[in-house]
Amino acid sequence: MIDAHINPHIDHLLLRLKTIPENPGVYQYFNRDGTVIYVGKARNLHRRVSSYFNHYDEHSAKIKMLVRNICDVKVTVVRTEVDALLLENNLIKQYKPKYNSMLKDDKSYPYLCLTQEDFPKLLFTRNRESVRGHFFGPYPNGRMLRELQEIVRKLYPYRKCNHHFTEQSVAQRPLRPCINHQIGLCPAPCAGLISKHDYGQLVQQIEKLLKGDFGETLTEMKQQMFGLADELRFEEAEAMRRKIRLLEEYQSHSTVVGTSVHDVDVFSIMSDSRYAYLNMMRIKQGNIVYSFNYEIKKQLDESDEELLAVVIPQLHEQTESTAHEVIVPFHVVDLPDDYLTQTVPARGDKLQLLELSERNVKAYRLQCTHQRTLVDPDGGRQQLLERLQQALGLPRLPTNIECFDNSNIQGAFPVAAMVRFTSGRPNKAEYRKFNIKTVEGPDDYASMAEVIHRRYSRLHDEGKPLPDLLIVDGGKGQMEVARQVIEEQLHLDIPIAGLAKDDKHHTSELLYGFPPRTVGLRPTDPLFHLLEQIQNEVHRFAITFHRDKRSKGTIRTQLTDIPGIGPKTARDLLLKYGSVKALRLQSEEDLAKAIGPAKAKAIADFFRQTESI
């Protein structure tokens, strides 16, 4: 890891690194003037960006120079590596970063085009202005496009020649079929061997394939294969099977942007009580031109709709956007329709764009929250509690959270424990231990019911405030037991959640509601870490209490029944001699040297009496 002598901004950069997600995406490095000096893509953003600041001495001279000039880093999350490659290309063209040696020219990624003719052909092109037709792409590289062309041609042979002919010219003077027809790669429309209508149906199948809409085609091909096999036409069935395999192995070139989306801005927003987080994406000709994230500190309790009504016109002007359409998660009432056309998508490419923007704003919110937690733990915890309130739909902020856990060994020495977290921190003065009094045997549900009843009936009788959230260490069964006690027996109103564990005894999911539902939290989420801390703390507290009780119980049943022998003397003797059996073998004189003659005589008399029984 580098130090401040190499890069004076390393502390800020290391703080940034801790908040970068492990998703595919694009990262940008900035110098002290705020200029983009490098743009890169990564399958795992966190791992890739961190690699620049590890093992500095092993880097090349160019990388060392880059690292010394980095003052800040920003990331954009995308769905796939292909999308990262496309966005990287656009950003490099836009900013022309100093340390990017590739893709600085205006060379565009290639497209496939079905030409606008009576008998269309499928062309490879980088210049959308040079040919008229229906475009598909862009593709990340020419090799991928060539492979796709070969797949399409094997499935649906089309003409590849440069002859210019129409349906009328073919009818008047058909041409001679070329070798491509003889090897099965062209239906020879130039020779009149296929009609315009039939060739058009072939083109429609190609369009479906290039759009990724080939489910119906695949089903039809499988039906044809089975039909050929039933007719014992096995060679034709095998040829169809090879086509089906090609089609199934085909992977769509881009999962986010289609060329049908020309010039739009995409906005998504998330907020808590103090901050709002916004993502804006610019889309031109099916490409993500750039993606920006913004953090807005609320002055009043503005709604997301009110914030978008202010921010969209402002950013539209600042970025000099030419878009006349905005894609938004909901209709913004105060945004005039004659200013920008609003689209709230329900399906298709535009919905995928909105979902991508929302993933970016969620990742950015986690980064900001995590960074504030590292810099200001109290402020960060406050935001985590606000997120927990929002995720569970709680009526008030869960400032006081109480969590219960049971501990026993096959029903022996049953105990329970409760911990309280106040403002996201352990409040050890409010921790409580419970000896199970009414339950016989290992019954976790009954033990949970007993301690919850004792805890909250007492708080209610004494007029003390109830917790804002009750968490039980367990799943649906423990939650139902807690609900029965809280609602049906005590008639109290306390929100109840459960923390379930996996088969490795690790915190796996947060449950809430009746019937319980899983609240989606990633294991890397700081909120998940807080809940995991609460569960681990109550488990530790319960286990410690159980061990203490078990230790005292073992000594009491062996030695502390002797008059004059207390727990301390019994413990000292067991530590010295190892066991009660070894203690029986000692003479009274030896015991007197260790604990005095009076206690030694009492122990010797007790052992003589028990031996005679």
- Stated as kind and residue range, the H or E segment containing 243 is helix 234-249
Domain CATH number, residue 485: 3.30.420.340
Task: Judge whether residue 412 has pLDDT over 70.
Answer: no
Cα–Cα distance, 127 to 72 (Å, whole number): 36
In a domain, 87, yes or no: yes
Residue with tokens 């030409």: 115
Domain boundary among 543, 572, 595: 543
Contact between residue 283 and residue 257 where contact means Cβ atoms under 8 Å apart: yes
* Token representation of residue 99: 């340390």
- What the block records as the tokens of 348 is 């298709």
Provide mean pLDDT across the span 22-40: 89
Task: Tell me: pLDDT of 525 over 60.
Answer: yes
Residue 146 maps to a domain: yes
- Bond preceding residue 515 cis, omega within 30 of 0: yes
Cα diameter, the chain: 130
Q: Are residues 419 and 535 in the same domain?
A: yes
Alpha-carbon distance of 281 to 260, in angstroms, equals 16
Q: Above pLDDT 70, what percent of the chain?
A: 83
Q: Are residues 300 and 354 in the same domain?
A: yes
Predicted pLDDT at 253:
37
Residues 527 and 394 in one domain: yes
Same domain, 523 and 397: yes
**Which CATH number fits the domain that encloses residue 74?**
3.40.1440.10
Mean pLDDT (the chain) is 81
Same domain for 285 and 350, yes or no, is yes
Residue 379 lies inside a defined structural domain of this protein: no
Domain membership of residue 183 (yes or no) is: yes
The token pair that represents 473 in the structure block: 């260490």
Residues 356 and 397 in one domain: no
Q: Which of 51, 66, 95 lies at the terminal end of a domain, its last residue?
A: 95
Kindly state whether residues 85 and 173 are assigned to the same domain: no
The answer as to whether 604 is a domain residue is: yes
pLDDT of residue 214: 60
In a domain, 311, yes or no: yes
Indicate whether 246 belongs to any domain.
no
Which one has a higher pLDDT value, 540 or 147? 540
Question: What per-residue confidence (pLDDT) applies to 556?
Answer: 52
Expressed as residue numbers, the domain containing 516 is: 389-543
- End position of a domain, from candidates 214, 243, 271: 214
Instruction: Examine the pLDDT at 93 and tell me if it is beyond 80.
Output: no
Q: What is the CATH number of the domain that holds 316?
A: 3.30.420
Q: Are residues 201 and 307 in the same domain?
A: no
**pLDDT (average), residues 523-539:** 86
> Is the predicted pLDDT of residue 501 greater than 70, yes or no?
yes
Domain count of the chain? 5
Pair 305, 359 in one domain: yes
Q: Are residues 364 and 462 in the same domain?
A: no
Residues 393 and 539 in one domain: yes
606 located within any domain = yes
Residue 469 pLDDT grade (very low, low, confident, very high; cuts 50, 70, 90): very high
Q: Are 573 and 594 in contact (CB under 8 A)?
A: yes
In sequence order, what are the residues at sequence separation of 6 or more whose Cβ sits closer than 8 angstroms to the Cβ of residue 96? Answer: 104
Asked if 443 and 532 sit in the same domain, the reply is yes
| C-alpha 62, offset from chain centre | 34
